[in-house]
Structure 1
């Protein structure tokens, strides 16, 4: 079975280690678990030789996982684009974005918009709301700005950054029409704490990011309802022994999910490992992928800003033609997971959870005790080899 081969709607998969469910019963050393799917739904799971009776009576394919892994489909809650297209490009671009990320194991993603004027963002959100209803893979929208710090703007156009007025907040909620899954806000801006409370009350997950906030103010934002830290360590103060900053505030707030762009560029492996140890069970792998994802090095745009991609690293092009700030990534979720295991030192179980259940839970798509491949759940799954490479997939039920 190749990466592009689809697992059929009727199948028995055995000789596998299922990276889903109760961590206490999970053993990576023993690939003796099996799973049965019928009509695109998980109908049975077990351990040992019980699969043989199922295979004898099943009409579908019997798949030997060869000691590899069965994993839930990946979930990306922070994704700007791929395949030469960006979220802002609208309906004509969305399938190019989804096709690239689906090919790399993502079953659901939140479509992320870079900062724009309030009017421009609302236009994008109105268009995006229709896409969410038309495309099952889209789980919602993410507004990364424009309520961001000009001192930590990263790859966001400075001229559109602004503070969150009550009028702007209501306009965004109205435009998204219930499809806004996440919004990133710098809590030090005037009116930000009130905006965090309002978005949270409306069911939108608020992320702290692109911020100059210190530890104390970040903690206030989490108390006000914020529950995500946008791409940890990037576009925010770091950890200092006398100024612990947003990352440690997030570590101490147990309801907060911490995003990580695990490409080895945004955060190097030893720091990523430290972050995982700080927030066990609360680390969410994201791509922050932009238009160049799935393509080649060259010149692209992120929002209105020119970007040059060299050796797969995207950076802004400054007025003098030199490379500036990192501008999103060209990362895919399968690569983020492989790096988490091979370079950061996470177990396959923890890496897959960080790429599926944890981000899904962060935007309200799963409960704390959810099993994404429990009996009765859609069979949105991946078959991985022992190196965490995708051998086959079934996405979309």
Structure 2
């Protein structure tokens, strides 16, 4: 598969903002630069074209082209689990929907994302996977995530029960082939018939097998991990709960040193104490995700999540038919703020969970860190952790759609 992080910018050229990649490059200084492996206070980075060429502490060797003394620079956010945003969904199956979703999250700092699909018919899913493969190969997305149809009816969440199925070899192979190497992750309930063999086949194909929407016992979850599963899809949500005589999949995933665990930090899916406990249990394996549906960065109202109708009120998305939580209306920027300001987690750990760790999990070699040789994806946060500036692939992103007061010279003392 072509390297997805070297493709075109889904937002196109930024309007009214400085071009970070001119011939001599651009030096951006800030009150703090979080790599996130190291913290420089103050610090600076040098961008040439799409690439970061230097990152260091202190004062830059020449006057900064853009000075942000009151802001913190962090890597662009990497969302490994997102269904939609800006009023559109990847299930819409159009190039316009892909552009709408990626742009809606980009202005909030998400510079890399996978396209998550929900349960549908085999033919419909294969068609969507083929369509999204084009956008992965073009660089707008970093991969596709299949969340369904191989899920437990007992923990189906916002998935149509009539369309759930077992991960038979034929069904698994059909979606692998449709993806042309662009499917990054597949969530399944490993206790289903053919579940363990599906985990092995997905792993063999280079696809992350994720345990989720599952009624697996502790032993069944452990067997899936031993077979190659390596991710827990939105830990705690849509899975068998913890019991002192039957620990279930949550404990199996938390105790496995090689398993990544997704957490949705919106105050709806998880109590802040549960979020903090899981994050502290394995700080280098936690991945903040949004599980965002179409209403992310969009008004409340009625939306579709695949074939299921969803009503969003006060930013909470629920199926109109059952009242089940149906994804979130999060952006990763808001998840970062919640994890720090409400759950009380250290900023360094939270930034890593929204950048470096998901990039590592997804096998993305040039995003998720501010370091030489990486793509110039940068987010500037203020003291309240609100996003003020975004750079993707060396280009400043026009944030006026998200913040009407946005100006490229805001918080800057000089511009190129």
Q: TM-score if structure 1 supplies the norm length?
A: 0.90
Distance 1:396 1:46 in 2: 19
Q: Check conservation: 2:357, 2:368, Cα contact below 8 A.
A: no
Aligned-residue offset at 1:217: 0.9
What is aligned with 1:168? Answer: 171
- Would you say 1:19 and 2:34 are equivalent positions? yes
Q: Check conservation: 2:51, 2:393, Cα contact below 8 A.
A: no
SS in 2 for 1:361: helix
Aligned-residue offset at 1:313: 0.3
SS in 1 for 2:268: coil
5 Å-filtered alignment, 1:267-346, equals 267-318=270-321, 324-346=323-345
Q: Tell me the number of residue pairs that the alignment of Structure 1 and Structure 2 aligns.
A: 375
Q: 2:20 aligns with which of 3, 8, 27?
A: 8
Structure 1 unaligned blocks of 5 or more:
none
- Would you say 1:120 and 2:124 are equivalent positions? yes
What is aligned with 1:44? Answer: 54
5 Å-filtered alignment, 1:65-104, equals 65-66=69-70, 68-90=71-93, 91-104=95-108
What is aligned with 1:264? Answer: 267
Q: Check conservation: 2:36, 2:356, Cα contact below 8 A.
A: no
Structure 2 unaligned blocks of 5 or more:
1-15, 395-416
Aligned-residue offset at 1:276: 0.5
SS in 1 for 2:345: coil
SS in 2 for 1:182: strand
Q: Deviations over 1:149-171 (max 9, x none)?
A: 00000000001101111111111
Aligned-residue offset at 1:131: 1.8
Per mean C-alpha deviation after superposition, the further-off stretch among 247-256 and 259-268 is 247-256
Aligned-residue offset at 1:38: 2.3
Distance 1:14 1:167 in 2: 54
SS in 1 for 2:340: helix
Q: TM-score if structure 2 supplies the norm length?
A: 0.86
Q: Deviations over 1:367-395 (max 9, x none)?
A: 9xx97221122211111112211121101
- Runs of 4+ with >3 A deviation: 4-7
Q: Check conservation: 2:118, 2:148, Cα contact below 8 A.
A: yes
SS in 2 for 1:79: coil
SS in 2 for 1:138: coil
Distance 2:54 2:135 in 1: 34
- Would you say 1:62 and 2:66 are equivalent positions? yes
Q: Deviations over 1:42-79 (max 9, x none)?
A: 22222223x1x232xxxx7231332x311110000101
- Would you say 1:246 and 2:243 are equivalent positions? no
What is aligned with 2:209? Answer: 206
SS in 1 for 2:323: strand
Q: Check conservation: 2:293, 2:327, Cα contact below 8 A.
A: yes
Aligned-residue offset at 1:340: 1.0
Q: Deviations over 1:148-201 (max 9, x none)?
A: 000000000001101111111111111111000000010000001000000000
Distance 2:107 2:53 in 1: 25
How has the CA–CA distance of structure 1 residues 62 and 305 changed in structure 2, closer, same or farther, with 3 Å as cutoff?
closer
Aligned-residue offset at 1:202: 0.5
- Give the CA RMSD over aligned residues: 1.8
Per mean C-alpha deviation after superposition, the further-off stretch among 113-122 and 155-164 is 113-122
Q: 2:42 aligns with which of 32, 41, 47?
A: 32
- Would you say 1:229 and 2:232 are equivalent positions? yes
Aligned-residue offset at 1:328: 0.6
What is aligned with 1:149? Answer: 152
Aligned-residue offset at 1:364: 1.6
Distance 1:232 1:5 in 2: 39
Distance 1:21 1:233 in 2: 27
SS in 2 for 1:334: helix
